[in-house]
Chains A and B, each alone.
Chain A
Amino acid sequence: MRQAMTGQGASRGAVLGRARVRLPHALQVAEQHIAPDVADAELARLHRAIGAVRDELHALRARLHGALAQEVGEFLDLHTLMLDDPELLHGLDELVRDRHYSADYALRLQRDRLAAVFEAMDDPYFRSRVEDIDQVIGRVHAALHRRDCELQGFAGEILVAESVAPAEMAQLQAQGVIGLVTTSGSPLGHTAILARSLHMPLVVDCSGAMDHINDGDALIVDGGTGLVVVEPDADDLRAHREREEGHVREKRALARLRREPTCTRDGVDIRLFANAESQEDVAEAHSLGAAGIGLYRTEFLFLQRNALPDEDEQFRAYRDVVMGMSGRPVTIRTLDVGADKTDRTGLTLRDEQNPALGLRGVRLSLARRGLFETQLRALLRASAYGRIRLLVPMVTSAEEVRLVRAELDRVAAQLRAEGAVLGEEVPLGVMIEVPAAALALPAFINDVDFLSVGTNDLVQYLLAVDRNHEGLGRLYTPLHPAVIRVLRDTIRLAQRHGRPIAVCGEMAAAPDYAPLLLALGLTDFSLHPGTMLEVRQRIRDCDYAHLQSRLPALLRARDRDAIERWLASAA
């Protein structure tokens, strides 16, 4: 018999599956007193249970790995801290020892006390912390009765429960559970946050779920709208199927592409590297089959904080990136900030007349040697964990390349003298984003190991157009004969000298520009994971030899319109 109910959508996605109802681990314990002379034994029993849960959480943490470990680990740490919380423990001790309540009832009282305070708060985030208290105390209660608190989920099923702990979520996904419905919780809770990052559809706060859903019922759950349909009828199923088909087609095509090589119709291999600035980007890049990280921005480690990151913090960040790519090369760009980016660390000069032409990129690194040395040390130490390449932004001259190379050699020697383990030679590359660097490339190409073209800045400097200037919108475009020519010459020179070259600006991330870059002879792209599959698809539709034969026509194009016409005919 069909029933529909609504909760709050907390993680998008619609799924159809059989319900698996987990009966609540109720803390509805009646008031229980114990004899005063067994209070100590009762307290010991409670502390044993707390110890068991602590071990459980540690074991759970040890089982997680990769990006998930970081995500779930934080919540596990929080729950572990709660277990050791003096307020919680002290309250429990007092309830059992002085007031002679049973361990179960003490847990319930303490839970209610804390929950009452949290629930009375105005801030919805703080209110939703009751979830965490329930999960921690629920685990202790289960341990008191030696009941297994671990959830058992089954492939293809939708779990219906009072609440699900963030830590359980990772396991459920591994077991193949396809969606979740909970009676409590909030879209702001940790479980919801994690569900979204795991792409697990979730409806929370669906109060009728436990009463109206039975084990084995067919369910349609829409984590976007919060709609839960029990025993759906023909119309529900049709609507769901239509929605699904569109999704599935899309997903399937993209999922297939994840495992497909990036190679043109006529069999030329193209390498897609990822631009990344966080561990999430790295995990995404890895799962998309990126050839490596082509640009890891280190700015986020430095910006929006009051103190500079020390060597160890940087080392850990770089090491995580390298390990996250399991052997594929990772290109780490040294600090690329200037007065155009806000920072409170006193890193950059204030009030430059013209920040775009000011103390930024490699200029700042060379002006602040201590800062640069710290970053190089961290980078070199991380090179012991995988293949790291060093990329320097905003280079203009051969002299800058020489100074950076000398600094890199000096720091490497210093580390070796200290007995540090370094990886193999760290290749040194420069960004081509200042027109002078492109024009003077023959002067230093033999001193660098690879090149990366930063088209965002290159276009800005070549055309003398501020890319953030709203009134100049259409003037800022890579579709300009000067840009095409500089790209062609730079790519050709790099190839003649056997130096790998990639384009890492937005241009490489736009599927529509792929044919143009292939025509120019580019075989390495570096782009944000977000459009990687679309770009891959576009490249797979291209014929490399044919595009090469159309290069003369591209070079003859006199203006933007002509280049756009070329693109339209090449596609």
Chain B
Amino acid sequence: MIERDLTVSNRLGLHARATAKLVQTLSQYRSACTLMAKGREVNAKSIMGVMLLAAGQGTAVKLRVEGEDEQAACDAVQALFERRFDEDS
């Protein structure tokens, strides 16, 4: 199991498009992933779940990944956060 602390740094936060990117990224991995923020814990592979976090810019989230390809999944999510979900603005 890997845990990692991340910060939502893109301007729009985990809104629909960013969430869609996250879910699409994770769908390539078999590991179970959860996101924790604001005292809530959701399935990171669920678009509804992630949007329900309503994590705006600056929110600290904890990612927990568990499974055979956890390292790769974790790195992929971290890279996505660091690229600010490829938002152009």
Q: Which residue of B lies closest to A121 (CB)?
A: B54
A78 in contact with B52 given A85-B47, A86-B43, A86-B46 (CB within 8 Å): no
Q: Decide: B83 and A78 in contact? CB cutoff 8 A.
A: no
Total of A-B residue pairs, C-beta within 8 Å? 61
Q: Which residues of B contact A233 (CB under 8 A)?
A: none
Q: Is the CB of A306 within 8 A of B82?
A: yes
Q: Give chain A residues whose Cβ lies under 8 Å from the Cβ of B76.
A: none
Using Cβ atoms and an 8 Å threshold, which residues of chain A touch B24? 81
Within 8 A of B (CB), among A92-129: 114, 117-118, 121-123, 125-126, 129
Chain B interface residue count, Cβ-Cβ cutoff 8 angstroms:
26
Q: Mark B2-29, 1 if CB is under 8 A from A, else 0.
A: 0000000000110111001001100000
Contact A305 B84, beta carbon cutoff 8 Å? yes
A269–chain B nearest beta-carbon distance, Å: 36
A307 to B79 Cα, complex, angstroms? 10
A446 part of interface (Cβ distance < 8 Å): no
**B54 contacts A126, CB within 8 Å?**
yes
Residue of B nearest to A133 (CB): B48
Contact A132 B86 (CB under 8 A): no
A interface residue count range (under 10 / 10 to 19 / 20 to 34 / 35 or more) = 20 to 34
A561 within 8 Å of B (CB atoms) = no
- A87 interface neighbour in B46, B86, B88, Cβ under 8 Å: B46
Bound: A82/B20 CA distance, A: 9
Task: Given A78-B20, A129-B16, A300-B88, answer yes or no on A86-B51 (Cβ-Cβ < 8 Å).
Answer: no
In the complex, what distance in Å separates the CA atom of A300 from the CA atom of B83?
Answer: 14
Cβ contact within 8 Å between B84 and A117: no
A132 and B15 CA atoms in complex are apart in Å by 12
A88 at the interface (CB under 8 A from B): yes
Q: In the docked arrangement, what's the CA distance between A121 and B38, Å?
A: 13
Of residues 69 through 87 on chain A, the ones whose CB sits less than 8 Å from some CB of chain B are 74, 77-78, 81-82, 85-87
Main secondary structure of the interface of A (DSSP, over half): helix
Query: Bound complex: CA of A118 vs CA of B47, how far in Å?
Result: 13
Q: CA A74 – CA B15 in complex, angstroms? A: 13
Known: A126-B15, A129-B16, A306-B83. A85 touches B88 (CB 8 A): no
Partner of B47, one of A74, A82, A305: A82
Q: Does A125 lie within 8 Å of B15, measured CB to CB? A: yes
**Residues of B30-89 whose CB lies within 8 A of A:** 42-43, 45-49, 51-52, 54, 56, 82-84, 86-89
A78 and B47 in contact, given A121-B54, A132-B16 (Cβ under 8 angstroms): yes
A304 beta carbon closer than 8 Å to chain B: yes
Asked whether B51 lies within 8 Å of A305 as measured between CB atoms, the reply is no
Nearest B residue (CB) for A313: B86
* In the complex, chain B residues whose CB is within 8 Å of the CB of A78: 16-17, 20, 47
Given that A78-B17, A81-B20 are contacting pairs, would A305 and B54 also be in contact in the complex, using a CB cutoff of 8 Å?
no
**Complex A-B: 11 CB contacts under 8 Å:** A74-B17, A85-B48, A87-B48, A88-B46, A114-B48, A114-B52, A121-B54, A300-B88, A304-B88, A305-B86, A305-B88
The interface of chain A, by Cβ under 8 A from chain B, is: 74, 77-78, 81-82, 85-88, 114, 117-118, 121-123, 125-126, 129, 132-133, 190, 300, 304-307
With A122-B54, A129-B16 given, can you name 12 additional A-B contacts, CB distance below 8 Å?
A74-B20, A77-B20, A78-B47, A81-B24, A82-B47, A85-B49, A86-B43, A87-B48, A87-B49, A114-B48, A126-B54, A305-B83
B residues near A (Cβ < 8 Å) are: 12-13, 15-17, 20, 23-24, 42-43, 45-49, 51-52, 54, 56, 82-84, 86-89
Enumerate the 5 nearest inter-chain pairs by beta-carbon distance, A residue then B residue, closest first.
A87-B46, A87-B48, A126-B54, A121-B54, A81-B47
